Chain A
Amino acid sequence: GQQVMQIPQYQHVQEGEDFTTYCNSSTTLSNIQWYKQRPGGHPVFLIQLVKSGEVKKQKRLTFQFGEAKKNSSLHITATQTTDVGTYFCAGSSGSRLTFGEGTQLTVNP
């Protein structure tokens, strides 16, 4: 079955440093989505990428979808303490989303 792998599992940064998480799928995806889950909270949809090579920005967040539509990345510039949480990618190649294991981001003030 489809597998979605995400690295790193944990990332600790100082406030102001950049952060990147990477996502790889075992199969070609029709789209990829990114979610954020705050500690004790529920996943919240951030963005969806559909086109090969697509790049989207949301303020300090930059999302990329690979040319082969099998990998993606999320980059946060100049992290803030409000960025704390776990970031999940989720790939779609059928009837439902398969989530990666997530990258847990902690930001030291």
Chain B
Amino acid sequence: NAGVMQNPRHLVRRRGQEARLRCSPMKGHSHVYWYRQLPEEGLKFMVYLQKENIIDESGMPKERFSAEFPKEGPSILRIQQVVRGDSAAYFCASSPSGTSYGYTFGSGTRLTVV
């Protein structure tokens, strides 16, 4: 029973390029959450999705960031025109039903913008 799969584990992008982060939730989980973590800091909520729907994107920057969870395939967090300040660990988590259950986190994608 595979856990939450994130790829790539590490991603290096030059300023101005696009970053695409992928997340496949645990089997049977239909709720996906993306969090960002800066070094030595906590987890900041970005977006909550269910299949084909964005439920809560109140933590997403208004520009350059977008997320989707299509009917088929993984959830994608997309960052356009990356800047140095986007360097962080991006974690995806899934749950079977909202916040009534503990989240299962993926191993994260460490994004470095050079």
Contacts and interface: CB of A to CB of B under 8 A. Distances in A.
Contacts of A45: 102-105
A31 B77 CA distance: 28
A77 B44 CA distance: 29
A59 interface: no
A97 B45 contact: yes
A20 interface: no
Contacts of B102: 33, 35, 45, 47-48
A96 B44 CA distance: 11
- B interface residue count range (under 10 / 10 to 19 / 20 to 34 / 35 or more): 20 to 34
> Is chain A's interface secondary structure helix, strand, loop, or mixed overall?
strand
B106 A96 contact: no
Interface residues of A, number: 26
Interface string B9-53: 000000000000000000000000101000011111100100000
Interface of B: 33, 35, 40-45, 48, 55-56, 58, 91, 93, 98-108
Given A31-B99, A42-B107, 13 more contacts: A30-B99, A33-B102, A43-B91, A43-B103, A45-B102, A47-B102, A94-B56, A95-B98, A96-B33, A96-B99, A97-B33, A97-B103, A99-B42
6 contacts: A33-B103, A41-B107, A48-B101, A95-B48, A95-B99, A101-B41
